[in-house]
Amino acid sequence: MAHVSNTRRTTSRFALGDVLAVAGLGLAAAVVIGARARRPSVRAKTVPAAPEAALAARRVRDGAAILGASVLLDSAMEHYRGRFHNAAMYLAPATAAISIAAALAEPRRERLETPLRIGHALALTVGFAGLGFHVYNVAKRPGGFSWNNLFYAAPLGAPGALVLSGLLGLASEAPTGLGRERHRDDEHWTERYGEEGRFLAAVAGASLLAETAEVWLLHFRGAFHNPAMYLPVSLPPAAAASLLAQAIAPRRGSRAFARLSLRATAVLGFAGTGFHIYGVQRNMGGWRNWHQNALAGPPTPAPISFTGLALAGLAALDLIDAAGKPNR
């Protein structure tokens, strides 16, 4: 009879603290590297005159970076829990770090453009590969695609966040590219803003829905024991719906609601982090038992991903807005 696992690895070679330290350093390094590449600021006079596009692009990238940070910390912790029993499990946090750096960097200089694009594409690819791994992990367990395995085996939604991070990064190319290539005498640029805004709105809206699905699964696992747990499965879908509505038919009248719901979703990311920190605290032993509770309690790095997606959504609205403004 085949064994469930052929792994003969002994106990982890390092502790959760080490993993978090490395992940934290990775995060910091990614931020520093990305921010250095980003200079000079878009607000500087040297920026091509397309502030709406550049600002929107930056916002999308900020969103992608936040998403990447969430993935980095979450995957580092979850894969630590899974003992990094497959070397590929290191790829997730590593790729997330690259994704953050790439997202923060501004692809202004020609020589950076390709590497950054590769960074985003890498996140996308690794995310999809991870999805495959996780599907395989669930499928091979007794019970297969049972609820128990969906709850507790490798989470299918998690690699999806890496996919989204890469996707947003790539999508951010569009407005920036437009901004850079813009010709003052191009009379149609505002229309193209609109198209790109709508494309971004569709991407961000769909991403929000995907994220909501994962949150629903995990909050369902937690039996929605706190009514607040319904917030992240009701507010983000509302925001997503209004975004998708804008993508399909960008009407100014309903944009205020879209903006409001996205801002609320962004705030929810922070509030959720607070709730999750409280959730860890209320588990047996609280933070004193953090070696267990940081892993077994609600995932603290997860909720902030909503903030990232909401930023991208807001950027999409900015672009759509800009499309409606008169040419300067």
Partner 1 sequence: MSTPFRTPYPTYNVLDKWDSPSFNDQTREVIGRRLDEVPPRRFFDAIQWATLLAVCNRVIPQPERRHDERVPIAPWLDAALHERRGTGTRYADMPTDRRSWKQGLDAIDAEARVRHGLRFAALAADVQDAVLKAIDDGDVRAGEAWAGLPPKRFFRHLVLKEIVRIYYVHPAAMSEVGYGGPASPRGYVRLGVDAIDPWEAPRGRWPGENDE
Partner 2 sequence: MTRPVGAASHGAEVRPRAQGGRAPDVFSRDGTVAMREFRDSDAVDFAIVGTGCGGGVLAAKLAEAGFSVVALDAGPFWRPLADFASDEREQDKLYWLDERVSGGEDAIELGSNNSGRCIGGTTVHFQMVSLRFRPEWFKARTKLGYGFDWPVDWRTMWRYYAEVENACKISGPISYPWGPPRGRYPYRAHEVNAAGLVLARGAEALGVAWAPTPLCTVSAPHGKSPPCVYRGLCKIGCSTNAKQSVLIAFIPRALAAGAEMRDLAMVGRVETDGNGRATGVHYHRSGEWRFQRARNVVVSGYSIETPRLLLNSASPQHPDGLANSSGAVGRYLMVHSNHAVWGEFDEEIRWYKGPPSMACCEHWNYVDDHPTKDFFGGYSFMSQGPLPTDFATSMVTNSGVFGMDLRRRMANYNRMAGLKIVGETQPQAENRVTLADEADEFGIPRAHVAFSYCDNDKRLYRHSLTFMRRMLAAAGGRNIFETESTAHLMGGCRMGLSPDDSVTDADGRTWDVPNLFVCDGSLMPTASGVNPAMTIMANSARIADRIKALAAAGDL
**Which stretches of the chain bind partner 2, using CB under 8 A?**
1, 3-5, 141-143, 147-148, 151-152, 220-223, 225-226, 279, 282-285, 289, 292, 296
Tell me the two tokens of residue 269: 């990311």
Tell me the two tokens of residue 173: 């190319």
- Residues 16, 121, 210, 245: which binds partner 1 (CB under 8 A)? 16
Using CB under 8 A as the binding rule, whether residue 21 contacts partner 1 is answered as: no
CA–CA dist 166, 133 (Å, integer): 18
Using CB under 8 A as the binding rule, whether residue 328 contacts partner 1 is answered as: no
Stretch that binds partner 1, among 43-51, 119-127, 168-176, 292-300 (CB under 8 A): 292-300
CB-wise, 15 or 49, nearer to partner 1?
15
295 binds, among partner 2, partner 1, none (CB under 5 to 8 A by kind): partner 1
Site pattern 53..82 for partner 1 (x: CB under 8 A): ----------------------------x-
Residues 239 and 232 sit within 8 Å (Cβ to Cβ): no
Q: How far is the CB of 11 from partner 1 (least distance, A)?
A: 4
Using CB under 8 A as the binding rule, whether residue 7 contacts partner 1 is answered as: yes
CB-wise, 218 or 240, nearer to partner 1?
218
Contacts to partner 1 from residues 186-245, by CB under 8 A = none
CB-wise, 136 or 224, nearer to partner 1?
136
Residues 254 and 246 sit within 8 Å (Cβ to Cβ): yes
Residues 162 and 120 sit within 8 Å (Cβ to Cβ): no
Half-sphere exposure of 140 (CA within 13 A, CB side): 12
- Residues 10, 46, 110, 249: which binds partner 1 (CB under 8 A)? 10
Tell me the two tokens of residue 177: 């590219």
Q: What is the 3-state secondary structure (H, E, C) of the chain?
A: CCCCCCCCCCCCCCCHHHHHHHHHHHHHHHHHHHHHHHCCCCCCCCCCCCHHHHHHHHHHHHHHHHHHHHHHHHHHHHHHHCCCCCHHHHHHHHHHHHHHHHHHCCCCCHHHHHHHHHHHHHHHHHHHHHHHHHHHHHHHCCCCCCHHHHHHCCCCHHHHHHHHHHHHHHHHHHHHHHHHHCCCCCCCHHHHHHHHHHHHHHHHHHHHHHHHHHHHHHHHHCCCCCHHHHHHHHHHHHHHHHHHHHHHCCCHHHHHHHHHHHHHHHHHHHHHHHHHHHHHHHCCCHHHHHHHHHHHCCCCCCCHHHHHHHHHHHHHHHHHHHHHCCCC
Q: How far is the CB of 290 from partner 2 (least distance, A)?
A: 13
CB-wise, 14 or 224, nearer to partner 2?
224
CA–CA dist 103, 99 (Å, integer): 6
Using CB under 8 A as the binding rule, whether residue 3 contacts partner 1 is answered as: yes
15 binds, among partner 2, partner 1, none (CB under 5 to 8 A by kind): partner 1
CB-wise, 159 or 279, nearer to partner 2?
279
132 binds, among partner 1, partner 2, none (CB under 5 to 8 A by kind): none
225 binds, among partner 1, partner 2, none (CB under 5 to 8 A by kind): partner 2
CB-wise, 12 or 125, nearer to partner 1?
12
264 binds, among partner 1, partner 2, none (CB under 5 to 8 A by kind): none
1 binds, among partner 1, partner 2, none (CB under 5 to 8 A by kind): partner 2
- Which residues contact partner 1 (rule: CB under 8 A)? 3-5, 7-12, 15-16, 81, 83, 284-285, 288-289, 291-292, 295-296
